[in-house]
Amino acid sequence: MSERQPTDAVSELGAEALVAGEFARGELGLVTVLAAGVVLAVLLRLGRGLLDLVPMTGRRRELKERAVPVLVLVVSLSYLLFVARVLFRSAPEQMPFAAAAVLCGIALAAWNTIRDLVNGVFVVAGRVCAVGDLIEFDGIVGRVVAMGWRVLTVETANGDEAVVPYSTVARASLRRSRVLESANAHVFRVPLPSHIEMLDGKRLLRETVMCSHWSSLVREPEIVWMHDGEFEVTAYALDSERGGDIEAQVQRIFAERPGP
């Protein structure tokens, strides 16, 4: 009995030391994780501020605006994997499960973006629409001006741009009009009603011409103020015999425009 007591005491001391060491390593790991997070946040903010101060061309600035979020995402993912490695250092066999949990969490948070990317692949590959096409869906009518990685950009008749995710395009019933390369010029004059300002009249003319089914979407109408109370409009029709239809539609809308 007397021989076992010192051995038991040593074992107890060793166990206590082991627990204390594990606790100290845990505290050190937590401090390391927090310090690394603070340093990364400061570096990212500082780097973004320095990039904003660097003079750039418009194209390079646009490239920077696209690249910075991707860089932040990569750094954040690397940091999360580092956190998992530090926290599971004492149990390395759990590391693959922790990494999988981190990746699943990121995929869940970015699910909408991933869905838009996948739908974009099928929309582009299936030639659902192309740049320059006139499309109509979900109350949006306009010309496709750009097809990005996850969004479709549509220019409406009043000059606004509608940025639509591909997932919305994939679910909607889309009406498309192919753009023909040839366009036939048709010149006519439109008197400006007295109750409409010149700039408003020019905007209304552009909207009316571009909304016509027979107007070319490749070439926008040319509208010139003639200083005699009239606009000279050059509309480009898809068919040589349809220029008069565009003119009649414009004249009718201006004639029916109510006064103040």
- The domain made up of 129-177 has a fold known as SH3 type barrels. (2.30.30)
Provide the pLDDT for residue 69.
74
Phi-psi region of 51 (alpha: psi -120 to 50; beta: other; left: phi over 0): alpha
Residue 232, phi then psi, degrees to nearest 5: -100, 120
Strand partners, 233: 188, 223
pLDDT confidence tier of residue 178, bands split at 50, 70 and 90? low
Q: Taking a C-beta distance cutoff of 8 angstroms, is the pair 40, 75 a contact? A: yes
Range from 76-80, 205-209, 224-228 carrying the lowest mean pLDDT: 76-80
Q: Look at the block and give the residue holding tokens 């009649």.
A: 248
Decide if 243 contacts 235 (C-beta within 8 A): yes
Residue 136 CA from chain centroid, whole number: 20
pLDDT, mean of residues 37-41:
81
CATH code, 184-255: 3.30.70.100
Residue 183: per-residue pLDDT: 61
CATH 2.30.30.60 domain residues, the chain: 129-177
Please report which helix (H) or strand (E) contains residue 177, including its range.
Answer: strand 175-177
Q: Is the pLDDT of residue 181 over 70?
A: no
User: From the CB of residue 183, how many other CB atoms can be counted at a distance below 10 Å?
Assistant: 18
pLDDT in tens, 159-171: 788 888 988 888 8
CA distance 81 to 217: 50
Rounded Cα gap, residues 142 and 146, in angstroms: 12
3-state secondary structure of 197: coil
**pLDDT for the residue numbered 29:** 62
In the prediction, which pLDDT does 17 show? 43
| Residue 215: DSSP 8-state | B
Residue type, 5: Q
Tell me the C-alpha distance between 152 and 159, whole Å: 16
Residue 136 pairs with which residues in a beta bridge?
141, 175
Helix axis angle, 58-87 to 95-109, nearest 10°: 140
- Residue-level pLDDT at 118: 85
Q: Which pTM does this prediction carry? A: 0.43
The torsion angle over the Cα atoms of residues 76, 34, 109 and 96, rounded to 10 degrees, is 80
**Residue ranges of the chain assigned to CATH 3.30.70.100:** 184-255
pLDDT at 18: 42
**Which run of H or E residues covers position 188?**
strand 184-191
Identity at 49, one-letter amino acid code: G
